[in-house]
Amino acid sequence: SKLLEIKDLHLKINEAEILRGMEFSLAKGEVFALIGPNGCGKSTFAYTLMGLNNYQPQSGEMIFKGEKINDLKINQRAQRGITLAWQEPARYQGVTVREFLSLGLKSRDKEVTENKLREALDQVAINPAQYLDRFVDRSLSGGERKRIELASLILMEPECIILDEPDSGVDIVALNNIANVINYFKKSGSGILLITHSEEMLEYADRAALVCAGEIIREGAPSAISDYFKSFCFPCAKAEDCEK
Ligand code: ADP
Ligand code: MG
Ligand code: MG
């Protein structure tokens, strides 16, 4: 069954048309990868789907679990189960890992909370004893913050997760952790939108699509899309030159 449907989505930012007819669907338990050159609109699409301010599409539809979400605010979309992991992992001055991870938890029971935090950190190979009382700030490496952010995603129990280049700037260890988390979500029946450049990450996708100048120009098996991208797309610097 379809979890998410994107239909002919158009978005302008300052008169520039950034999304030009994005269209695809995502099923429960499916990993759908979006690849494409820098500046083709992948992050813009992620923000539009999440509903950030100033990312209101001019036309087209975003349908989540049968409901049109175009006019919903970011928090309403989050409540319905959509979550975005940013390209840059978050930093929170003065917030401990324990506090950060507990934010979305419904249970007030201390033991339940502590167990959930431990389970989530386990998925990303972070030792709770070493990290729970540290701050989510510059004292943690980018890779550590990324892993803690991934643990926070698990705790939110989202039904649709947008991962915007989760592998950017992280080490090999974190790459395995990301794969772990993707598999965890897949098993729990969530749909995953995976924006990535890396071949390793693409191996975890069920399907992939190539984005060029704000629209999907090709969709298929991840390896085929990746091959096509590498052999035909890189020389094409301008959208006008795109021969699809
Ligand atoms: P990608 O994530 O695929 O690298 P982006 O979505 O970040 O691409 O950017 C798509 C295009 O939109 C780029 O040309 C970028 O310069 C432009 N863009 C993105 N955000 C803004 C903004 N806030 N104002 C103006 N142009 C923007
Ligand atoms: Mg980019
Ligand atoms: Mg981007």
Determine the Cα–Cα distance for residues 9 and 61; give it in Å rounded to an integer.
6
Asked if residue 42 has its Cβ within 6 Å of ligand 1, the reply is: yes
Length of the chain: 244
Burial 47-75 (b: 16+ CB within 10 A, else e): bbbbbeeebebeebebbbbeeebeebeee
Tell me the per-residue pLDDT of 176-235, one tens digit each, with 9 for 90 and over. Answer: 888 989 999 999 999 999 999 888 899 999 999 999 999 999 999 999 999 999 887 765
ipTM of the shown complex: 0.93
Tell me the per-residue pLDDT of 94-125, one tens digit each, with 9 for 90 and over. Answer: 899 999 999 878 788 889 999 999 999 999 99
Return the pLDDT at 121: 95
Nearest CA to ligand 1 atom 27: 13
CATH superfamily for domain 2-87+159-172+179-241: P-loop containing nucleotide triphosphate hydrolases (3.40.50.300)
Tokens of 162: 């947008």
Q: From residue 165, give the alpha-carbon distance in Å to each of 10, 43, 232.
A: 22, 9, 22
**Ligand 1 atom showing the smallest separation from residue 40 Cα:** 3
End-to-end C-alpha distance for the chain, whole angstroms: 29
Asked if residue 18 has its Cβ within 6 Å of ligand 1, the reply is: yes
Query: 164 C-alpha vs ligand 3 centroid, how far in Å?
Result: 7
Best residue among 9, 22, 35, 44 to mutate for probing ligand 1, ranked by most atoms within 8 Å of CB? 44
- When pLDDT is cut at 50, 70 and 90, the band that residue 59 belongs to is very high
Asked if residue 12 has its Cβ within 6 Å of ligand 1, the reply is: no
Tell me the pTM.
0.91
Nearest CA to ligand 1 atom 24: 13
- When pLDDT is cut at 50, 70 and 90, the band that residue 85 belongs to is confident
